[in-house]
A and B are shown apart, each in its own frame.
Chain A
Amino acid sequence: MRWLFSFLVLALLGAVQALSSSGSRLLVVLEELAEKDKYSEFWDDLRGRSYTLSFESPKNDKLSIFKHGERAYDHLILFPPKTKGLGPSLTPKLLLEFLKKDGNVLLTLSADHPTPSAIVSLLLELDIHLPTDRNALVIDHFNYDTVSAGEKHDVLLVPAPKALRADVKNYFEVDGTIAVPRAVGQGLGNTTPHLAPILRAGSSAYSYNPKDEAEIVEDPFAVGEQLSLVSAMQARNSARFTVVGSVEMLQNEWFDAKIGAVGSKEQTTTANRAFAAKVSEWTFKETGVLKVGRLQHYLNEGKKNVNESAVGVPEHNPGIYRIKTDVSYTIEISEYTSTHLSPFVPPTADDVQLEFSMLSPFHRLSLTPLAQTANSTIFGTSFVLPDQHGIFNFRVNYKRPFLTSVDEKRQVTVRHFAHDEWPRSWNISAAWVWIGGIWVTVAGWIAFVALWLYSEGVEKGVKKTQ
């Protein structure tokens, strides 16, 4: 029986041998299937990373991204439709539903055709703004490809993206320059924390409609680095949605095109292929995926925690503590990179933090890496519980751009001192006066009673003689 079971497990393992952490069924929605050959290298790359690709036209009536209420595919690549929209099976509502069910979407835009309003409203829901002028594309008069767009300046040459901030990891580092032909620039909303630009236009770029014959652009949609060429949205459930401003940059011809920068004679090859791989890796959750392993909190009694059992065993953390006790907290975090789990190392300027909160945090502590196993880092800290009873949460709320969110909340009760946990009165030196007082009173009373009884007896004797 056991061999059968292990065989089954092996078979299952073989079946799910994808590089993505969330499945390998990939649907490419392409209006004209003939066009797919233009992107064959991109497909080969994806197949090389063991995705099963299905190609469908949005006009296909039987197309459905759901089956029996569940996702039929794990990932979705949407090509810009030439007609008005993506059809009834890919409405914005269904696409958001797909994201809600942990599917990932790579949406590509093209400046060749006006972006359909369905896609515009979908992006608007995610606080990604497209130029109001549907034919606008991004132009840069200083960083364009001299080979292919010497006149129009609409093929941008953008250096490989650097880390967004010092405390954010960079998953899109490639060697060389990325060519972005005829891109639709996106403006990202300023309020939502779910958005992050992957590739930003140079500081001299601006959005412009070439069909608009005006000499001067007044009040452009966005300029400079505010224009995002490739942007990422990661929902609260860590579903990923990437907008690639230019579908052309994924084409075979741009994967190894020769480009020339302004002011330099030599021609180089684009890094588009590597960049496309990085973007698709990230979007389909091959990189930047965090996984929480064992999470422990325990009363720190000077000894090492006993709960050292294997991963997968349900947590045996205590549900109740007493105020003012020393508590340790450890959390095991791994990062998934393409093939395996590796120890997660936060960026240098960043910390994984633990909150111990009731209504508001009573402690907010940086977790220090205590140890590393083969595929995880164990972060931990110990602290003294506050002098406040109540229902508290150990919470690690680690949400960073490009990393799947970690929000681990463990509810514990912090109780008051029980009646027999206080120090005894004789251990408190200040109480000795009062203890002394009690015993003096007791002794005095006994002495008084003894005296009283003694003298009473004499009186009775006297009375009797009378």
Chain B
Amino acid sequence: MATSPVDPLLKQLTGPNTRSLLRVIILLTIAAAAVSSRLFSVIRFESIIHEFDPWFNFRATKYLVQNGFYSFWDWFDDRTWHPLGRVTGGTLYPGLMVTSGIIYHVLRFLTFPVDIRNICVLLAPGFSGLTAFATYLLTNEMVTSPSAGLLAAAFMGITPGYISRSVAGSYDNEAIAIFLLVFTFFLWIKAVKLGSVFWGALTALFYGYMVSAWGGYVFITNLLPLHAFVLICMGRYSPRLYVSYTSWYALGTLASMQIPFVGFLPIRSSEHMSALGVFGLLQIVGFVEFVRNQLPSRQFQTLLRALVLVIFAVSFGGLVLLTVSGVIAPWTGRFYSLWDTGYAKIHIPIIASVSEHQPTAWPAFFFDLSMMIWLFPAGVYMCFRKLTDEQVFIVIYAVLASYFAGVMVRLMLTLTPIVCVASAIAFSQILDTYMSIDSPTPEVQANGTPASASVAAASAMLPDGLRSTRNPIVGIYSYTSKLTVVAASTVYLMLFVMHCTWVTSNAYSSPSVVLASRLPDGSQHIIDDYREAYYWLRQNTPENAKIMSWWDYGYQIGGMADRPTLVDNNTWNNTHIATVGKAMSSREEVSYPIMRQHEVDYVLVVFGGLLGYSGDDINKFLWMVRIAEGIWPDEVKERNFFTARGEYRVDDEATPTMKNSLMYKMSYYNYNALFPAGQAQDRVRNTRLPAEGPQLTTIEEAFTSENWIIRIYKVKDLDNFGRDHGSAVAFDKGNKKKRAHKRKGARTLRVE
């Protein structure tokens, strides 16, 4: 009998070495799958940075690579937030840029001349492979089943919930942050299990890296203390917990304070107070445990317990007092909006205006997680059955992350790892149960000694008439049921893969800088208006020409057009954004002085009316109005942009405020000329536009892209002869100025 090389594997005769080799190969394959499924956008379009924030990260990385770390650290960016400028080095999370910078320099050192752009484009896919590996490690800490880890890694590698933020070109903080998040959790579990300072310190190290990479580090800062707190409450305090938590907290806090943007937040802001509180609590509990070991009196113990509660209450009260008195920074708006989904809409329109801050729609869960959405509760339930220290962590993480994912779309990202882990636990349980080939041989049991008490009891109760009950065997041994379940699972897995691939290729692989559409013959047509306009700016305007646009496009203008902008996606200054909002939503006479004061040379608007591109500025316009109204409630009123019947219209029935606003004028200026008279049609809002187009006096059209998506206007200089622009334009058109015949009241005399 010839033995094929696969046989030992099938017969489970292989030694541990072969198994670990297999495991490595599987993990490598998973990583390769994770990377390759993220390359749709590169293949379909090109190696290009996506969306908005990545453009800033890319620009910052280029600055870092060109000028070195220290000048990056002290970078004062005078090309954004004109004329305020931005202390960029101190207001960003440098982890991402430094990571790509290091990769760049290592590759250069190894004499691989790689363009920094390609590193930036491919960083997220690369790190997704690492994330899959980290998920494998984390899951392996949770259960003993060897397949759970691999399944979790595979899930993590291709689940759309994570791919959405890590396709090639999506060069955002999340690209590396999710790997760091999962890996930090793995190290934490390891530290809690072993009670080792070494693993605690490693946790702190990666926590520090995470802090340097993403603002979402606060999630770790609160989840680890919560885990420790729940363990204490469950009476599971142990020196292991004490050692791991204190070493993580002390080192991790120090590490996080090294990031200039974070600075003293860990000891001053409310979001970090739970970590500090649990740190204090652990000291007290540790002390109490120590005393209890010394004095084994029950009454003394209860007294101490009371003491613990009192101290906890007092310190909590002190915390509240400090918060109220302002020593500790109060909760930020983003934090409130986590609990009250309507909060941002009322109080901080700038947060609410970001689409990824909206509450999640329920189909999004299935869209992003597919079948894991029903495996996930099963996995959590399985954790409840044993409830070891690390499984408590799974439960807490699952509960918290599900809540947050429901509140904000983008927090789906933090939910995804735990969903993968929990579903892998559940799925591996199914597979382990149904896939074991060995079944007990009834003969052995019949001839031998009574198997077990339970079997004996069961056989005693059952009648002997049935063959199946004669020798009852507890467990699933029928090949039919095994085959059915295994086949069903395989089908589910395949459907999962198909779903993930489909979602990735259709929903998450568009660079949004370049739009794709299909021609009637099915061929792909690329709409490249954004880059067309940005390159126009780059090549036709002075290097210091200031561009005013809504903040969404700030990073792209900075990155692609290399021109100073007034506001950008780093929304740190609400007033400045409101100023731009006011300029956009006011009459020309009001906007012009604002633009002059801010030295604006060009105004850029996005208009989708011709193409039916719905993400244009007229659709975002109400947010500009709302944000401006928040600062100037007397000058900008949202109500005036709605008709008497409360409709938001752009056609004949649009309100005068709407029609006179700069944004409306810039969007529809000369748009009539494209259509036969009176036929102008807005394809986004599906309305027919007024026959008479708007007139501009203080600005003039400079550029309109091929599909009219981007329109750029030049702000006119003051009139050479001291006239206002309205009359200057009227004069150029040949309208005679009316002489001021009727003077009212006393004549104003000229005084030298």
Contact = CB atoms under 8 A, between A and B. Distances in A.
Given A121-B736, A416-B76, A236 B720 contact: yes
Contact of B76 (A165, A411, A413, A420): A413
A126 B723 CA distance: 8
Contact of B83 (A99, A124, A132, A391): A391
B363 interface: no
Contacts of B751: 190
Interface in B105-151: none
A190 B83 CA distance: 34
A125 B737 contact: yes
A197 interface: yes
Contacts of B748: 190
A237 interface: yes
A413 B718 contact: no
A290 to B, nearest CB: 18
A427 to B, nearest CB: 20
B386 interface: no
A226 interface: yes
Given A99-B721, A359-B598, A419 B74 contact: yes
A42 B719 CA distance: 34
B752 A226 contact: no
A320 B77 CA distance: 11
Interface in A369-416: 389-392, 411, 413-416
Contact of A125 (B74, B260, B597, B731): B731
Given A125-B737, A390-B85, A164 B752 contact: yes
Contacts of B739: 124, 129, 132
A389 B82 CA distance: 11
Nearest to A193: B722
A235 interface: yes
Given A226-B749, A359-B597, A194 B85 contact: no
Contacts of B717: 236
Interface in B70-94: 70, 73-74, 76, 78, 82-85, 87, 90
B445 interface: no
B596 to A, nearest CB: 11
Contacts of B723: 125, 127
B481 interface: no
A226 B78 contact: no
A390 B83 contact: yes
B85 A93 contact: no
A277 interface: no
B271 to A, nearest CB: 25
B732 A93 contact: yes
Interface in A15-53: none
Main DSSP-derived SS at the B contact region:
loop
B749 A96 contact: no
A19 B727 CA distance: 36
Contacts of B734: 93
Contacts of B73: 418-419
Contact of A391 (B74, B78, B736): B78
A124 B721 CA distance: 11
Nearest to A129: B739
Interface string A188-225: 11111110110000000000000000000000000000
B733 to A, nearest CB: 10
A233 interface: yes
A358 interface: yes
A364 interface: no
A99 B723 CA distance: 14
Report the contact-size class of chain A (Cβ under 8 Å from the partner): 35 or more
A124 B737 contact: yes
B741 interface: yes
A165 B598 CA distance: 33
B749 A358 contact: no
Nearest to A237: B720
B484 interface: no
B298 interface: no
B737 A235 contact: no
B564 to A, nearest CB: 8
A236 B722 contact: yes
Contacts of A187: 750
B238 interface: no
A415 B752 contact: no
Contacts of B719: 236
B544 interface: yes
Contact of A194 (B90, B544, B564, B722): B722
Nearest to A196: B752
Nearest to B739: A124
A197 B752 contact: yes
Nearest to A415: B76
Nearest to A124: B737
Interface in A114-162: 121, 124-127, 129, 132
A29 B719 CA distance: 27
Contacts of B727: 125
B727 to A, nearest CB: 8
Given A411-B544, A419-B74, A392 B741 contact: no
A392 B76 CA distance: 13
A402 to B, nearest CB: 12
Contacts of B260: 419
A113 interface: no
Contacts of B721: 96, 99, 125-126, 192, 194, 233, 235-236
B557 to A, nearest CB: 16
B722 A99 contact: no
Contact of B750 (A124, A188, A411, A413): A188
Interface in B409-424: none
Contacts of A100: 720
A229 to B, nearest CB: 14
Contacts of A233: 721
Contacts of A320: 76, 78
B494 to A, nearest CB: 54
Nearest to B741: A132
A93 B732 CA distance: 7
Contact of B85 (A127, A129, A197, A413): A413
Between B598, B720, B723, the greatest number of chain A beta carbons within 10 A of the residue's beta carbon is seen for B720
Between B260, B564, B721, the greatest number of chain A beta carbons within 10 A of the residue's beta carbon is seen for B721
A389 B76 contact: yes
Contacts of A127: 722-723
A236 B76 contact: no
A121 B723 CA distance: 13
Contacts of B82: 391
A415 B88 CA distance: 11
Interface in B670-725: 717-723
A413 B749 contact: no
Interface in A220-275: 226, 233, 235-237, 239
Contacts of A96: 720-721, 731
Nearest to B748: A190
Nearest to A416: B87
Contacts of A226: 749-750
Contacts of B597: 359
Given A125-B737, A418-B73, 10 more contacts: A93-B732, A121-B737, A188-B750, A226-B749, A359-B83, A411-B544, A413-B85, A415-B74, A416-B76, A416-B87
21 contacts: A93-B734, A96-B731, A125-B727, A125-B737, A164-B752, A188-B750, A226-B749, A235-B722, A236-B720, A237-B720, A358-B83, A359-B83, A389-B85, A390-B85, A391-B78, A413-B78, A415-B76, A416-B74, A416-B90, A419-B73, A419-B74
Closest 6 CB pairs of A and B: A415-B76, A418-B74, A192-B722, A413-B78, A391-B83, A194-B722
Interface of A: 92-93, 96, 99-100, 121, 124-127, 129, 132, 164-165, 187-194, 196-197, 226, 233, 235-237, 239, 320, 358-359, 389-392, 411, 413-416, 418-420
Interface of B: 70, 73-74, 76, 78, 82-85, 87, 90, 260, 544, 564, 597-598, 717-723, 727, 731-732, 734, 736-737, 739, 741, 748-752
